[in-house]
Amino acid sequence: MQMLNIRQLKSNPSKALAAAREGDLVVVMNRDYPQALLIDLTQLGLPDLPAVRVALAVSLFRSGSVSAGFAARVADKPLAQILTLLSSQGIPLTGESKADEVREDMRHARDWLAKPAA
């Protein structure tokens, strides 16, 4: 187990992520108190990690924390597929998102749909 304070995490986040990727637990301390735990998702041994990534992406989008494009990257899915999923779950796609972000997401979706099938 590795312990870092917030300043150490800010100065070298790649070191903490590398330790987590290698299977080490990384505890982030905030003034002598454990605040967060970093662990690589693949180390959790989840039976369906892709479904967990999609659920995380949907949750982040629903809370307004990320754009649809970012949610698609988190889920490792094409933007059009994420937009369809969000819409099918009754999640508003425009909510409080900035108009420019929505236009950018739609442009990416159109570009993806225009690509020839592989």
Which structural domains are found in the chain, ordered by start? 2-44 (3.40.1620.10), 49-114 (no CATH)
Tell me the whole-structure pTM to 2 decimals: 0.59
pLDDT at 83: 92
- Calculate the alpha carbon distances from 108 to 45, 89, 95, 105 in Å: 33, 21, 19, 5
Residue pLDDT tens, the chain, 118 long: 888 888 888 998 898 888 888 888 889 898 888 888 888 888 878 888 889 999 999 999 988 888 889 999 999 999 999 999 998 988 887 755 556 777 787 888 888 888 876 6
Q: Which of 51, 63, 94, 57 is nearest to 79 (CA)?
A: 57
